Structure 1
Amino acid sequence: MRVSYDWLKTMIDIPEDPKTLSDEYIRTGTEVEAIDTVGESFDHVVTAKVLTKTPHPDSDHMYVCSVDVGDKNLDADGNPAPLQIVCGAQNFEAGDHIVTAMIGAVLPGDVKIKKSKLRGVVSMGMNCSARELGLGGDHSGIMILPEDTPCGMPFAEYVGSSDTVLDCEITPNRPDCLSMIGMARETGAIFDRDFHVELPAIKAETGRATDDELSVEIADEGLCDRYVARIVRNVKVGPSPDWMVKRLNALGVRPHNNIVDITNYVMMLTGQPLHAFDLDTFAERDGHRRVVVRAAQQDEKFTTLDGEERTLDAGMGLITDGERPVALAGVMGGMDSEIEDDTVDVMVESACFNAGRTSHTSRDLSLISDASIRFERQVDETGCVDVANVTCALIEEIAGGEVAPGYVDVFPAPKTIDSIKLRLARVHAICGADIEPDFIERSLTRLGCTVERDGEDFMVTPPSFRPDLPREIDLIEEVLRLWGMGRVTATIPAAKNHIGGLTREQKLTRKVGEILRACGLNETTTFGFAAPGDLEKIGMSTEGRGCPVVLMNPLVAEQTEMRRSLLPGLLQSVAYNEAHGTPNVHLYEVGSLFHGRENASLPKETKSVAGVLSGQWSEQSWNMKYRKLRFFFGKGIVEELLAQLRIEKVRFRPVEGESYAFLQPGRAAEVLSGGTVLGWVGEIHPEAREAMGIDEVVVAFELDLDKLIKGARNQDNYREFSQYPAVEHDLAIVVDNTVTCEDLERRITSAGGKLLEGVRLFDVYRDPVRIGKGKKSMAFALTYRSDDHTLTSEEVEKAHQKIVTKVCKGVNGEVRG
């Protein structure tokens, strides 16, 4: 919000030094981003007219213009001569009146204008935008002036005497400060001074009554809280008076014509957005016109004032004449109903549109306007009639209009404001200071509250334009910021300080990261958002993952859902690195997943840990060959992780079927602890890699971190080493190819009893001739040892034969001779 110092001085007695005002704004919570002086830096800046506009011979986005600056540039004979200026703006044509900075001008920001060459063409100045002149506003095009603007007038003279403008950043909870009256009220509360605003009143009402000619219907009450309409007839559209142009320019609003300028002026004055329609463009039936506020249909088309046809989504707000749209509710008017030079009758709209619906429409269409900014922060619905009357009074005064008697006011559900008890003791306790009761009452009153004493306490009714004051604590905050945080004496808290610590979950989560880093993986963080269909794209089943959690206002157009797996994001990282010449990628991530639930307001959130390994595990060197990544690298990392977490009964089960279609068959497994599935590990299927644009083999894993934390043991168990020697026996068993190593190891361990200390697979042999078709020989090294004596050969042989008998019987195998 740009605050004109000269305009503010007409409402309230303020310090002569704008810096003092700026410091007080900052002290009380309003950030001042800049203090600009309008009119001071306008030497060699003049009004001008574009005579010709031709494309630049060596650029497809710049133009070579001939600009008439009046008598500010003379030829050798002393006659006015146009300037040649190269300009990249797209919003002007030959015949437009503009603002030109000539050679020698110094614009705000210490921008010095010199003779220059742009792609080989000489430019003798610059055509200026409002922002380049320090007036704020749109920077996408140059400033267009009214047609009757003379050429060669010093711009400082055109905008009037210099003015100081404070560029304030208004927080979203203070919509009341998006107006000059709001800033005057805020200033009055800061300096404890009265403010006054002289608002014009309608002098006379003549002709047919407004409600006799016009009706208003709010078809969707979720779009509009209140709609007020007034009619002004026989207006004369033309330029606005200089005083209004000066104030609009200071606030960064480009003047158009007197009717449009009046609506913008009143909006900047009061904070209430308005819109003026050409009434004759509305459909008429039997001398009657309608206004209908309704929701748009899906893919409905509408052309806004900027000339762009927009495709609307279902639910966006529209103002219609009962037959066709005439405006986007709370955002922008339509081209077919705008005020033109030949407009005679005007309908003034003063409405209060729903904040959320307006915000979604504005952002979904990437169409941010001064009106939408105010509506999405909530406009005071009680002021609609008064603001409409002020607007009509100005039109009557400036454009010579005749105000129709009465107005139409549709107000379905007026809101009531409850009083709040403000306890003096509570104020002192929260603020840490004994703030005087008179200061509290005076400050809240100046902010617009109604305050009544209740003994030592207060009964406070917040004003309708302060929706951010619903609780006692909010009132205390207002008192404290005006009294001054800097005045609060520093004290040592009475409570004892306690040293914080990490929870078990935090400790184990950190330990997981430490283990994976020790295994050679690097931590990464990918987006928590996902594109629709990202799981289906790689063949990952959505079963058991809940429904997608759809974002209402996504930051990225393609990522409209919360992620349900870490794998797609990690695969995107692999693809990105591979495309940029880094094929060896070893990453892991710990992050949250979000699973939507039917009939639940919030999704289920779980923690997951996942990793990806692609390319080579190690580079080739003089003493080591390179090692390409395969399934067992990932399996080994998972085994190490679970072992260090002391998770018991870990086993791996081969996976198959559609649930794991994204993994390579025969090179993937589920990870279990007893009967609990912890996750999976395996090589990514070639089709999934192709879908992600990855050439290298990728080994990946994803584990449920919540289950890992639940299954992890807090303490390590230690056992004393046996002092007695070990005895080793080899066992080679011929089994069907379908029998897994894990199955055999489990059976051997179970049958071995206390004497069996270790089992290690050291050979797998296949030969259809020697051991049979569909068969394989798996050789294990078995280690036997006792804790309390030296084993005899008879004891070892007995234990060994027991293993052979039980294992062979269990898997229908035989010992290989």
Structure 2
Amino acid sequence: MKVSYKWLQELVDLPESPEELSREFIRTGTEVESIDTLGEAFDNIVTAQVVSKQPHPDSDHMWVTMVDVGSYNLDESGNPAPLQIVCGAQNFNEGDHIVTALIGAELPGGIKIKKSKLRGVESRGMNCSLRELGLGGDHSGILVLPEDAPVGVPFSRYWGTADTVLDCEITPNRPDCLSMVGIAREVGAIYDRDYHVDYPQIKSEVGRPVADELSLEIADSGLCSRYVARIVRNVKVGPSPDWMVQRLGALGIRPHNNIVDITNYVMMLTGQPLHAFDLSTFAERDGKRRVVVRAAREGEVFQTLDGQERTLAAGMGLITDGERPVALAGVMGGMDSEIEDDTVDVLVESACFDAGRTSHTSRDLALISDASIRFERQVDETGCVDIANVTCALIEELAGGEVAPGYVDLYPSPKEIPALKLRLERVRMLCGAPIEPSFIEGSLSRLGCTVTADGDDFTVVPPSFRPDLVREVDLIEEVLRLWGMDRVEATIPAAKNHIGGLTHDQRLHRRIGSILRSCGLNETTTYSFAAPGDLEKCDMSEEGRGVPVVLMRPLVAEQSEMRRSLLPGLLESVSYNEAHGTANVHLYETGTLFCGRENASLPKERPSVAGVLSGAWGDVTWIQRQRPLRFFDGKGVVEELLEQLRVERVRFRPADGELYRFLQPGRGAEVLSGGTVLGWVGEIHPQVRERFDINLPVVAFELNLEALMRLARDQEAYREFSTYPSVDMDLAIVVNEDVSCEDLDRRLRSAGGKLLVGVRLFDVYRDDERVGKGKKSMAFALTYRADDHTLTSDEVEKVHQRLVTKVCKATGGEVRA
């Protein structure tokens, strides 16, 4: 919700600084995402004067003008020089003072001014109309300023359009704050001040009564709880007044015409969405026009105001004239009933549509509007008549309309609001603060509640526009947030015979995070929700991941499932960081995966830990060159983690086959502890990186956190070190290319027995002539030592020869001379 500071000042007394108001909003639970100065939208737009006006040599309706913009354009000597601008308007003369957008300016609506040629003549700017400036609906000609207007000054300074706009994030439980009146009420409660709104009143009602001309029907009671309709005849559709356009523009709404702008203005003022129909588009039967609210039929097609034809699902709400749809209920109007320049009679709709049905309609059609945002958070149905009257009064005032007598109101089940009991003792106990009764009564009254004191307790009737106030604790929350949670003194909770502490799993979980951070990784948290094609985008197999858990009501369409791997979210983080100039990304995450099961009510939840490494470990320095992170960097992190957790019998097996299509062939491995597969580590395949718009290589790993914690050891068994000397020997074995180092290492340790205490690969050599084609020589440093005596050369030689024989026989290798 964008809030105009200038408009808000007319409703309630504000502090001088918007920043102070922002701090108070944040303190009381309304997040402020940004504070913007509206005048900044007129950057590079200045006042100017027409020096000359000549017909375009190749057009009968364009003019070539020379425009004085003061010091904003200088010649080679540094003196002000006029700009040449081609203009199509006809309503100006030489000497007129106008408004000019210079090259580099960006007009409302995203129009960027560039140097261009119009039919062969160079143009270096634009002479602007009110509509192009976003200040009015008139675009019949450029804006001509008074004769005494200065030349070459910023337009925002001259026009006085500077306004501060607070972009507030309104939580779903506060639909009342999706309006200027609601924000003014909130400010009044924060600062203990009155707010005031002067609603226009209908001056007269003439002509045929609405009830004689219009009939209403709600065919599906679940779609609409109340529908109010009024008629205004003989309207004159045209541009809106400047003050209305400026207010709507500050809130991010472009002007259309005075009728549509009035409905938008009243919606932003009161929070009640409205719609204006061209009454003549409704079919007349038996002397009456009908409005029927019904559910759409499966496959029914409807063209909305944005010009798109949309295929509807059964149950979506429609407004019809009895047969033909004219609007999507609570979302958007239709092309066939919109207000046109020749519209004469207007039907004003003020209704309250079901929140759930509206939300489903707008999100299923990917059609989010200002109206649907408000309806899906619940609109106050008790104010439909009053707000319809305000709308008609403005149409009467600004469009010369004649308001028809009366209105039609279909309200099947009037809303009843029960009174709530609020206990002072309960307030103080839950808040932990000595809040005074006078503050409680004053705060709730400012928020619109009807408060009656009964000794130390209160009887409170919440206002109809606060559907979130249904329990005593809801009232207490309102009192506390206004009183200030920062004023509550910190105390230790009272408890007897309770000893605090972390469980074994909690300590181990924190230890895993500490180890990964010590390896240079930073912890991150991604969404537990995922897009339906996340695994497919990563080329990850669904084997062993269960069926997807689909959300019934996803917050966004792109996150409609629960995640089955941490990798897609981490790759999105790498992509985001790289796109914003951060090349060196080292992240890890611990989280839960959700694996659905056929015919099971609940999915299986599996904890997992994953990490990604991209770029390099550090920036280039005078002593350190850039070295991209590769497979062995990720493998080293995994090895360090497993070693610190004292996981035994760790080994790595090449990751081949369809299960690991997302890893580069030859640069991925499964991580095992004995026969248990813990996870995988490897370099992400370039095709997968391309889908995520990642340019640099990425090393990733993902481990089963449950298995990891089960195999981890808190302590390692003490083993007395040997005081006897060791014997070092080197062994080079020539084997086929398909024999892995991991296989050789495992066979060497097995054949060496207890005396072999160390195996280290120090060289790999390939040469078709000396070693053989398709073969490689792998050289190992072997360390022999006994715990209880000094080894003799005969003992070592005997063990070594036995080792060589076994390993060569098992691998088909031979000792390299």
TM over 0.5: yes
**Within 1, Cα distance between the matches of 2:339 and 2:627?**
74
- The residue that corresponds to 1:508 in the other structure is 511
**Within 1, Cα distance between the matches of 2:446 and 2:392?**
29
- The residue that corresponds to 2:225 in the other structure is 226
- Does the alignment pair 1:467 with 2:490? no
- Does the alignment pair 1:347 with 2:347? yes
Assess, with a 3 A threshold, how the Cα gap between structure 1 residues 471 and 403 changes in structure 2: closer, same or farther.
same
Matches within 5 A, 1:565-580: 565=565
Assess, with a 3 A threshold, how the Cα gap between structure 1 residues 601 and 149 changes in structure 2: closer, same or farther.
farther
- The residue that corresponds to 1:403 in the other structure is 404
Report Cα offsets for 1:688-731 as digits up to 9, x if no partner: 67878999987654434554344333335553332224456788
Assess, with a 3 A threshold, how the Cα gap between structure 1 residues 490 and 323 changes in structure 2: closer, same or farther.
closer
- The residue that corresponds to 1:143 in the other structure is 136
For residue 631 of structure 1, report the CA deviation from its aligned partner: 6.3
Report Cα offsets for 1:318-358 as digits up to 9, x if no partner: 43335444234334433321234544443221112344665
- The residue that corresponds to 2:75 in the other structure is none
- The residue that corresponds to 2:292 in the other structure is 291
- The residue that corresponds to 1:68 in the other structure is 91
Assess, with a 3 A threshold, how the Cα gap between structure 1 residues 629 and 231 changes in structure 2: closer, same or farther.
closer
Matches within 5 A, 1:647-662: 647-662=647-662
**Within 1, Cα distance between the matches of 2:696 and 2:36?**
54
State the superposition RMSD in angstroms: 6.3
Aligned partner letter, 1:606: P
- The residue that corresponds to 1:609 in the other structure is 610
**Residues 450 and 463 in structure 2, CA contact (< 8 A), matched pair in contact too:** yes
**Residues 615 and 698 in structure 1, CA contact (< 8 A), matched pair in contact too:** no
For residue 449 of structure 1, report the CA deviation from its aligned partner: 1.9
Assess, with a 3 A threshold, how the Cα gap between structure 1 residues 179 and 18 changes in structure 2: closer, same or farther.
same
Assess, with a 3 A threshold, how the Cα gap between structure 1 residues 383 and 789 changes in structure 2: closer, same or farther.
same
Assess, with a 3 A threshold, how the Cα gap between structure 1 residues 490 and 177 changes in structure 2: closer, same or farther.
closer
- The residue that corresponds to 1:428 in the other structure is 428
Report Cα offsets for 1:344-379 as digits up to 9, x if no partner: 443221112344665676688887765445435431
Assess, with a 3 A threshold, how the Cα gap between structure 1 residues 68 and 490 changes in structure 2: closer, same or farther.
same
For residue 456 of structure 1, report the CA deviation from its aligned partner: 2.0
- The residue that corresponds to 1:597 in the other structure is 596
Matches within 5 A, 1:297-696: 300=301, 302-304=303-305, 308-309=307-308, 311=310, 314=313, 318-340=318-340, 342-355=342-355, 358=358, 371-389=371-389, 391=391, 399=400, 401=402, 403=404, 407-409=408-410, 411=412, 416-429=416-429, 434-480=434-480, 485=484, 493=491, 504-505=507-508, 507-514=510-517, 516-517=519-520, 533=533, 535-537=535-537, 539-547=539-547, 564-565=564-565, 589-590=588-589, 592=591, 594-595=593-594, 597=596, 604=605, 606-611=607-612, 635=635, 638-663=638-663, 668-682=668-682
For 1:176, what is the secondary structure of its paired residue?
Answer: helix
**Residues 571 and 612 in structure 1, CA contact (< 8 A), matched pair in contact too:** no
Report Cα offsets for 1:654-700 as digits up to 9, x if no partner: 44332123446666432101222112245666776787899998765
TM-score normalised to the size of structure 2? 0.68
For 2:671, what is the secondary structure of its paired residue?
Answer: strand
Assess, with a 3 A threshold, how the Cα gap between structure 1 residues 547 and 124 changes in structure 2: closer, same or farther.
closer
Report which stretch shifted further, 773-782 or 629-638: 773-782
For 2:326, what is the secondary structure of its paired residue?
Answer: strand
**Within 2, Cα distance between the matches of 1:690 and 1:246?**
50
Report Cα offsets for 1:131-183 as digits up to 9, x if no partner: xxxxxxxx874522498999878999xxxx99998866664454335556546
Aligned partner letter, 1:336: D
**Within 1, Cα distance between the matches of 2:350 and 2:309?**
24
**Within 1, Cα distance between the matches of 2:702 and 2:195?**
66
For residue 277 of structure 1, report the CA deviation from its aligned partner: 1.1
**Within 2, Cα distance between the matches of 1:787 and 1:45?**
96
**Residues 443 and 479 in structure 1, CA contact (< 8 A), matched pair in contact too:** yes
**Within 2, Cα distance between the matches of 1:784 and 1:241?**
93
**Residues 614 and 698 in structure 1, CA contact (< 8 A), matched pair in contact too:** yes
**Residues 588 and 611 in structure 1, CA contact (< 8 A), matched pair in contact too:** yes
For residue 272 of structure 1, report the CA deviation from its aligned partner: 1.8
Gap runs ≥5 in structure 2: 40-45, 67-84, 110-116, 150-158
Aligned partner letter, 1:675: G
Report Cα offsets for 1:402-435 as digits up to 9, x if no partner: 6366525154x66554433211123334556544
Aligned partner letter, 2:541: S
Assess, with a 3 A threshold, how the Cα gap between structure 1 residues 491 and 681 changes in structure 2: closer, same or farther.
closer
**Residues 2 and 251 in structure 1, CA contact (< 8 A), matched pair in contact too:** no
For residue 457 of structure 1, report the CA deviation from its aligned partner: 1.2
For residue 463 of structure 1, report the CA deviation from its aligned partner: 1.3
**Residues 566 and 589 in structure 1, CA contact (< 8 A), matched pair in contact too:** no
Gap runs ≥5 in structure 1: 38-42, 76-80, 93-116, 130-138
For 1:144, what is the secondary structure of its paired residue?
Answer: coil
**Within 2, Cα distance between the matches of 1:628 and 1:182?**
55
Aligned residues: 738
For residue 560 of structure 1, report the CA deviation from its aligned partner: 7.6
Report which stretch shifted further, 196-205 or 434-443: 196-205
**Residues 575 and 694 in structure 1, CA contact (< 8 A), matched pair in contact too:** yes
**Within 2, Cα distance between the matches of 1:783 and 1:149?**
90
For residue 648 of structure 1, report the CA deviation from its aligned partner: 0.4
For residue 773 of structure 1, report the CA deviation from its aligned partner: 12
Report which stretch shifted further, 446-455 or 561-570: 561-570
TM-score normalised to the size of structure 1? 0.68
- The structure number with the bigger radius of gyration is 1
**Residues 232 and 403 in structure 1, CA contact (< 8 A), matched pair in contact too:** yes
**Residues 767 and 776 in structure 1, CA contact (< 8 A), matched pair in contact too:** yes
For residue 465 of structure 1, report the CA deviation from its aligned partner: 0.6
- Does the alignment pair 1:719 with 2:712? no
- The residue that corresponds to 1:102 in the other structure is none
**Within 1, Cα distance between the matches of 2:148 and 2:430?**
53
Report Cα offsets for 1:605-657 as digits up to 9, x if no partner: 633234557999999x99x9999998667655644443343210112334433
Report which stretch shifted further, 791-800 or 447-456: 791-800
Aligned partner letter, 1:68: N
**Residues 423 and 457 in structure 2, CA contact (< 8 A), matched pair in contact too:** yes
**Within 2, Cα distance between the matches of 1:185 and 1:562?**
39
Aligned partner letter, 1:720: E
**Residues 205 and 402 in structure 2, CA contact (< 8 A), matched pair in contact too:** no
Assess, with a 3 A threshold, how the Cα gap between structure 1 residues 668 and 90 changes in structure 2: closer, same or farther.
closer
For 1:458, what is the secondary structure of its paired residue?
Answer: strand
For 2:516, what is the secondary structure of its paired residue?
Answer: helix
**Within 1, Cα distance between the matches of 2:239 and 2:697?**
71
